Amino acid sequence: MEKHTHVVIVYPHPDDESFGAAGTIRKFRSQGVPVTYLCGTLGEMGRNMGTPPFANRETLPQIRKKELEEACAFLDIDYRLLGFRDKTIEFEPLETVAKRVKKELEDIEPSLVITHYPGHGVHPDHNALAAGTIEAVRMMPKEKRPTIWAAAITRDFEKVLGEPDVVIELGEHFDYKLEAILKHRSQAEGLLKQLENSDKSESEFIKGLKTRLGKERFFIWQFED
């Protein structure tokens, strides 16, 4: 892993940073590299309201914001809110998204930006914010552009894109990622209930989670210009 001075992660929802990059964050923070999360929305359109319900459309954004604060404190990173509305980023003009992200990048001056790979997120917000982020970096002078790591998370991405350039394996540190994920209790309620009824060391459920989430994989984005 090359030496970086500041890492910025750009994902659309509270909990994307934990599900998608907790292991990568841990590696950079262990090296003393600052990490900032640019969170696109507050996930206010999320469907999980609990059983029995713990939230409604008015209260869910503040619950998710509090969970984001707790997760970022646990991960030892800063965060900034981009202010887009959940499930609507795809309808924003690309230039609008790019300019919003570019403003933050120019202020932070990261050496590395992590986002989703456009077309290989699992949610339209993933793809739209990723496209805007890559456009934001493209708009910067070449000599000031940070490196981009793009995370492809579709099931068949390796068939389409090939092997990723960067693989972060959590190994024995998987519990760290799991703890970060569980800070987003509103979204991890089902996961939490299953954990409470399982043996962490032996559970097939945990083994399955490690298989799905134990590696964080990225492609280094190449600009044509």
Residue-range domain boundaries for the chain: 7-220
Which runs of consecutive H residues, i.e. helices, occur in 109-203?
Answer: 124-138, 157-161, 174-182, 189-196
CB of 154 closer than 8 Å to CB of 31? no
Predicted local distance difference test score (pLDDT) of residue 192: 66
Phi-psi region of 15 (alpha: psi -120 to 50; beta: other; left: phi over 0): left
Percent composition of the chain: helix, strand, coil (DSSP 3-state, to 5) = 45, 15, 40
Q: What is the pLDDT of residue 130?
A: 98
CA atoms within 13 A on the CB side of 37: 29
Show Cβ contacts of residue 169 under 8 Å, excluding neighbours closer than 6 positions.
23, 214, 215
C-alpha to C-alpha distance for 4 and 134, rounded to whole angstroms? 19
* Total-model pTM: 0.92
Tokens of 88: 């609507």
* List of the chain residues with pLDDT < 50: 50-52
Q: 219 - beta bridge partners?
A: 150
Contact of 136 with 8, CB cutoff 8 Å: no
Closest CA to 170 of 218, 225, 129, 210: 210
pLDDT in the model for residue 16: 97
pLDDT of residue 45: 81
CATH of domain 7-220: 3.40.50.10320
- CA–CA distance, 178 with 63 (Å, rounded to integer): 19
For residue 74, give the nearest of 198, 153, 211, 185 by alpha carbon: 185
pLDDT at 52: 44
